[in-house]
Homo-oligomer: A and B are copies of this chain.
Amino acid sequence: MHDRVTVADAVIGWSESEQAVAREAFEQAYVRAIEQLIATIRARAGTLHSAETIWEFHDFLSIERHTIEGRFAFQFEGILFVFASLVKDGLLQLNELAGLDSEKLAKITAMSRF
């Protein structure tokens, strides 16, 4: 049987407390991304005036949905890159990752500047 403990134990190089920090930071960034998208939808909805602008709005939503669903499928593989991109995009602050070991934080910090 695969329970939560078994899965957690399988994450090499992440202590349990680091995993908790990562999940909470990830959830926080997700909430912010959704809040930003709702604000953008409301602003754009106010500017619609033709079929073409509706279809462009629909295309925008399709891309955002695809991007968000891909970006926020939580998994530890590659998560340092995801965190770096979230920091770069302002969806996460570095101090919200406090609790990760210094090597992980240094990698995220460095990559977030690219």
- Interface of A with B (CB < 8 Å)? 30, 34, 37-38, 41-42, 45-46, 48-51, 54-55, 57-58, 61-62, 65, 68
Q: How many copies of this chain does the complex contain?
A: 2
The CA-CA distance from A62 to B62 in the complex, in Å, is 9
Question: Known interface pairs A58-B61, A65-B58. Does A41 touch B45 (Cβ–Cβ under 8 Å)?
Answer: yes
Q: Which residues of B contact A49 (CB under 8 A)?
A: 38
Question: A62 with B58: in contact, given A41-B48, A45-B41 (CB under 8 Å)?
Answer: yes
- Complex Cα gap A54–B63 (Å): 13
Residues B54 and A34 in contact, CB atoms below 8 Å apart:
yes
**Chain B residues whose CB sits within 8 angstroms of the CB of A45 once the complex forms:** 41-42, 45
Q: Contacts A41-B45, A42-B45, A45-B45 given; indicate if A34 touches B62 (C-beta within 8 A).
A: no
Check A38–B54 contact: CB distance below 8 A: yes
3 shortest interchain CB distances as A-B pairs:
A45-B45, A58-B61, A38-B48
